[in-house]
């Protein structure tokens, strides 16, 4: 893609940019810059608003994000240097960013396109366990529970707890072996489901470039699959991630870059999270050269992104970019709740309505049960509800979305501190038939019907 | 309100205020005004730090404010309390315990670890922070060198977890179990996992880590 010619310049600037200690980067640059920009651009969180529809506010967040990107740059952990760009360079990077991407192959291919807030355009639904660790015997059944859902267009699978019964250690030959094994299993699941060309997120368990590169080598994941190259909180890259970027650039693999700011951390509160999302994704576009860009900000104690403060911040951060660029953006819902809980279903509903109406191009779900950290706690219905709500939200205005979210948040907010991780996959699904248990399906239907009664057109979906 | 309650409120405001020098100046004035160094440390300084920690635990303040407060508190400790206690020949223990913290090998995430480091410091622990992606051998060598009470290990990924197990195994294998305790934490870590690998404690989050470290010192 045309923006990838910039790769050598990115690597060069990682070697030659201004030097700074890592702790100083966050403490003396990032934190004060965000605080100052929030004040300069008068960005204020209002508790009574969940999905802001103030276009001027969104545009100010974009300007604040651009200023942040210029002022601090991206830190490279291996060289202790900042990769910096001028405002004009960043704007040129945005001008020539990919505005659409074909994901997957053959009859399973789908196109993700840049959208705007309140847009009626189709949103691609990415479903899966998004790296939730699972035992090897559970990998294919869990993957199939998502693959079976026709509302899901792209898959992002679980990650393996072990490989051939042995623990997987980062940076070791085990990681390489595990990456190959994950690819084998993911491709096999796609074949079984009759969706061999479906785009597969990868490589889920790769903590270093070793796993990522091994998994996308010969016989593994394909260039039409969805490789990931994140940056660390806050605004930090490293040689492992840049190696993934370099490899994706040479092989033409679809690349997703993501950044997850921490609420209450160096970026501050909701306002800071919104600015960090804007600035972070601008820097990601410039340096990681992705096709799609994702954010999943995190609450440090609840391990979710579905608190009112984070829904507001994510919606606003996304709007700032969708209003002012053609970036292909997605957000990943990370509920505190897990399978077998109504809490999770309502959390997902609120987050998806807010982010879809903010203009995201893909909806990624679901980092169930405390942000995807609880092994085995993920299931196809977690993403199915997100997919259905994504389609029901198409063409909805942000004002309407705000009214829906206002009704939904009280249905789960008090449960978040109770660690409502729900049940593991084998207790909510029949693992042989790959069907939800009657209890879990019943809960799903109840929540879905409640949402219909609220006015969400889940019974009149148009795909 | 008692005088000490009022002073705790004043100190809280100063630690979170705009003027970084003001807390030290204020502390000197309070001690010059007749409050003993021991009383100041036990009844004003230490409880105020706990209040600051609780504010962060509720996210009433954020990480940058916590860092600033911790640094200002350290300045009071170094420039005012410690010299005064030394002068008075007091054996008052200012440091609750010594903790070595790191993100284990293979893990480059640091923000959770950094939060725990700060909360430990504001709660009166001396902390040595080894950073991220720390090899197993380095953790054990430094733990011995520094004669720490507790080693805190953070991991955000399942693929770094095996290194936690290695650290526990090597500690026990080399006969160092009596030397220091090990507490583990991070997103994929559970109480059950901590028990399975033989760790001494599990910290659910930064706030819980403090409670557990205090309990480990009492053992």
Q: What percent of chain B has pLDDT over 90?
A: 63
User: Any CB–CB contact under 8 A between A132 and chain B?
Assistant: no
- Any alpha helices (H) in A197-307, and if so which ranges? 209-215, 239-251, 270-288
pLDDT at B123 over 90: no
C-alpha A123 chain-centroid distance: 14
Contact across the interface for A234 and B111, Cβ inside 8 Å: yes
CA dist., res. A312 & res. A394, Å (int): 19
User: Are the folds of B3-87 and B97-218 the same?
Assistant: no
What is the structure's pLDDT at A3? 76
Contact across the interface for B111 and A175, Cβ inside 8 Å: no
Contacts of A170 in chain B (CB under 8 A): 105-107, 157, 159-160, 163
What is the structure's pLDDT at B1? 65
Assign B93 a pLDDT band (cuts: 50, 70, 90): low
What CATH number has the domain spanning B97-218?
Answer: 3.40.50.280
Question: A52: distance to nearest CA of chain B, Å?
Answer: 23
Contact across the interface for A208 and B106, Cβ inside 8 Å: yes
Assign B83 a pLDDT band (cuts: 50, 70, 90): confident
Contacts of A301 in chain B (CB under 8 A): 57, 59, 205-207
CA dist., res. B163 & res. A210, Å (int): 17
What is the CATH topology of the domain spanning B3-87? 1.10.1240
| Locus of tokens 């720490």 | B148
User: Any CB–CB contact under 8 A between A301 and chain B?
Assistant: yes
Residue in B with minimal Cα distance to A176: B159
Contact across the interface for A265 and B160, Cβ inside 8 Å: no
Contacts of B56 in chain A (CB under 8 A): 264
User: Any CB–CB contact under 8 A between A162 and chain B?
Assistant: no
Q: What residue ranges do the domains of chain A occupy? A: 100-324
Assign B91 a pLDDT band (cuts: 50, 70, 90): low
C-alpha A94 chain-centroid distance: 20
Contact across the interface for B108 and A238, Cβ inside 8 Å: yes
Contacts of A205 in chain B (CB under 8 A): 158-159
Contacts of A263 in chain B (CB under 8 A): 59
CA dist., res. B148 & res. A268, Å (int): 32
Contact across the interface for B64 and A262, Cβ inside 8 Å: no
What is the structure's pLDDT at A2? 73
- DSSP for A310-352, written as a single string: HHHHHHHHHHHHHHH----EEEEE--S--TT-HHHHHHHHHHH
Given the candidates 3.20.20.460, 3.40.50.970, 3.30.70.870, 3.30.365.10, the CATH classification of the domain at A100-324 is: 3.20.20.460
Q: What residue ranges do the domains of chain B occupy? A: 3-87, 97-218
Question: B165: distance to nearest CA of chain A, Å?
Answer: 11
What is the structure's pLDDT at A371? 80
What is the structure's pLDDT at A191? 98
pLDDT at B205 over 90: no
Could you read off the pLDDT tens digit of each residue along chain A, which spans 463 residues? 677 789 999 999 999 999 999 989 999 999 999 999 999 999 999 999 999 999 999 999 999 999 999 999 999 999 999 999 999 999 999 999 999 999 999 999 999 999 999 999 999 999 999 999 999 999 999 999 999 999 999 999 999 999 999 999 999 999 999 999 999 999 999 999 999 999 999 999 888 999 999 999 888 999 999 999 999 999 999 999 999 999 999 999 999 999 999 999 999 999 999 999 999 999 999 999 999 999 999 999 999 999 999 999 999 999 999 999 999 999 999 999 999 999 999 999 999 999 999 999 999 999 998 888 889 999 999 999 999 999 999 999 999 999 999 999 999 999 999 999 999 999 999 999 999 999 999 999 999 999 999 999 999 887 7
């Amino acid at each position: 893609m045309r923006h990838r010619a910039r790769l050598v310049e990115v690597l060069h600037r990682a070697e030659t940019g201004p030097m700074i200690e890592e702790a100083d980067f966050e403490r003396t640059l990032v934190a004060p810059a965000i605080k100052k920009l929030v004040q300069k651009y008068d960005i204020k969180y209002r508790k009574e608003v969940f999905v802001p529809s103030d276009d001027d506010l969104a545009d100010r967040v974009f300007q604040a994000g651009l200023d942040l990107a210029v002022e601090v740059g991206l830190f490279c952990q291996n060289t202790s240097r900042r990769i910096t760009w001028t405002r004009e360079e960043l704007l040129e990077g945005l001008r020539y960013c990919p505005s659409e991407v074909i994901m997957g192959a053959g009859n399973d291919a789908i196109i993700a396109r840049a959208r705007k807030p309140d847009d009626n355009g189709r949103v691609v639904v990415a479903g899966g366990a998004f790296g939730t660790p699972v035992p090897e015997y559970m990998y294919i059944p869990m993957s199939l529970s998502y693959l079976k859902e026709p509302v899901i267009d792209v898959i992002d699978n679980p990650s393996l707890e072990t490989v051939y019964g042995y623990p997987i250690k980062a940076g070791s030959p085990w990681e390489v072996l595990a990456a190959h094994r994950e690819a084998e299993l993911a491709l096999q699941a796609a074949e079984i489901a009759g969706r061999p060309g479906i785009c597969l997120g990868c490589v889920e368990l790769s903590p270093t470039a070793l796993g990522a590169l091994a998994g996308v080598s010969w016989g593994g994941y394909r260039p039409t699959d969805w490789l990931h190259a994140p940056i660390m909180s806050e605004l930090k890259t490293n040689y492992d991630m840049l190696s993934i970027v370099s490899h994706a650039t040479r092989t033409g693999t679809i690349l997703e870059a993501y950044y997850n700011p921490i609420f209450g951390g160096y970026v501050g509160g909701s306002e800071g999270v919104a600015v960090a999302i804007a600035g972070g994704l601008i820097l990601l576009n410039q340096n990681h050269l992705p096709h799609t860009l994702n954010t999943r900000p995190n609450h440090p104690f609840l391990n979710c992104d579905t608190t009112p403060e984070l829904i507001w911040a994510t919606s606003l951060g996304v709007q700032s970019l969708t209003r002012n660029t053609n970036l292909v953006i997605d957000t990943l819902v990370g509920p505190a709740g897990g399978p077998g809980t109504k809490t999770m279903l309502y959390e997902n509903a609120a987050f998806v309505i807010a982010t879809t109406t903010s203009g995201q191009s893909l909806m990624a779900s679901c980092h169930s049960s405390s942000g995807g950290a609880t092994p085995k706690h993920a299931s196809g219905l977690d993403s199915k509800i997100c997919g259905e709500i994504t389609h029901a939200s198409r063409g909805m205005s942000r004002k309407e979305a705000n009214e829906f979210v206002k009704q939904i948040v009280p249905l789960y907010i008090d449960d978040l501190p109770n660690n409502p991780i729900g049940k593991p996959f084998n207790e909510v699904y029949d693992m042989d038939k790959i069907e939800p248990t009657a209890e879990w399906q019943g809960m799903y239907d109840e929540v879905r019907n409640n949402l219909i009664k609220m006015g969400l057109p889940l019974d009149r979906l148009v795909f | 309100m008692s005088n000490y309650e009022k002073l705790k409120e004043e100190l809280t405001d100063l630690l979170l205020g705009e003027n970084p020098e003001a807390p030290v100046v204020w502390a000197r004035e309070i001690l010059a005004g007749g409050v003993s160094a021991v009383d100041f440390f036990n009844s004003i300084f230490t409880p105020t730090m706990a209040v600051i920690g609780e504010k962060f635990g509720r996210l009433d303040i954020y990480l940058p404010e916590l860092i600033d407060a911790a640094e200002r508190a350290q300045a009071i400790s170094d420039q005012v309390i410690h010299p005064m206690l030394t002068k008075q020949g007091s054996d008052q223990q200012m440091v609750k315990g010594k903790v070595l913290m790191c993100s284990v090998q293979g893990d480059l995430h640091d923000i959770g670890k950094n939060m725990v480091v700060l909360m430990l410091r504001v709660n009166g622990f001396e902390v040595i922070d080894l950073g991220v992606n720390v090899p197993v051998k380095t953790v054990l060598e430094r733990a011995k060198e520094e004669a720490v009470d507790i080693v805190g290990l953070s991991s955000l990924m399942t693929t770094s977890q095996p290194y936690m197990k290695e650290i526990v195994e090597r500690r026990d294998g080399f006969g160092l179990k009596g030397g220091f305790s090990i507490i583990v934490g991070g997103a994929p870590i559970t109480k059950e996992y901590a028990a399975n690998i033989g760790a001494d404690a599990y910290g659910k989050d930064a706030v819980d880590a403090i409670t557990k470290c205090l309990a480990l010192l009492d053992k």
